[in-house]
């Protein structure tokens, strides 16, 4: 089972693709981007592909990673 859940997509007659996340529109892809997206969905895990294309794949450990000692001085933040 994949880590990402709740995504769906719809191909439209005009060639565009709408990606939905939990019933809300997350992305609208047209022309070449829509074709690349459909190719990736056909070749891999559709849920993970949709998560990556919409940017909804970074969840959970960002704060913990920022607080880790090896990242304490990264980029002058803190």
pLDDT averaged over 10-residue windows placed end to end, the chain, 78 residues: 76 96 93 96 93 75 66 59
The three-class DSSP label of residue 27 is strand
pLDDT score at 2: 46
Cα-Cα-Cα-Cα dihedral sign, residues 41, 36, 59, 67: positive
The residue behind tokens 């693709």 is 17
pLDDT score at 74: 61
Q: CA angle, corner 38, sides to 36 and 39, nearest 5? A: 65
Q: How far apart are CA 33 and CA 22, in angstroms?
A: 22
pLDDT score at 5: 84
pLDDT score at 15: 95
pLDDT score at 1: 39
pLDDT score at 27: 93
50, containing H or E segment: helix 46-54
pLDDT score at 3: 57
């Amino acid at each position: 089972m994949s880590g990402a859940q709740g995504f769906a997509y719809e191909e439209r007659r005009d060639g565009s693709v709408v990606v939905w996340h939990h019933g809300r529109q997350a992305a609208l892809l047209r022309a070449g981007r829509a074709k690349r997206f459909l190719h990736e969905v056909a070749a891999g895990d559709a849920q993970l592909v949709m998560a990556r294309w919409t940017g909804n794949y970074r969840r959970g450990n960002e704060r913990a990673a920022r607080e880790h000692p090896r990242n304490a001085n990264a980029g002058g933040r803190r």
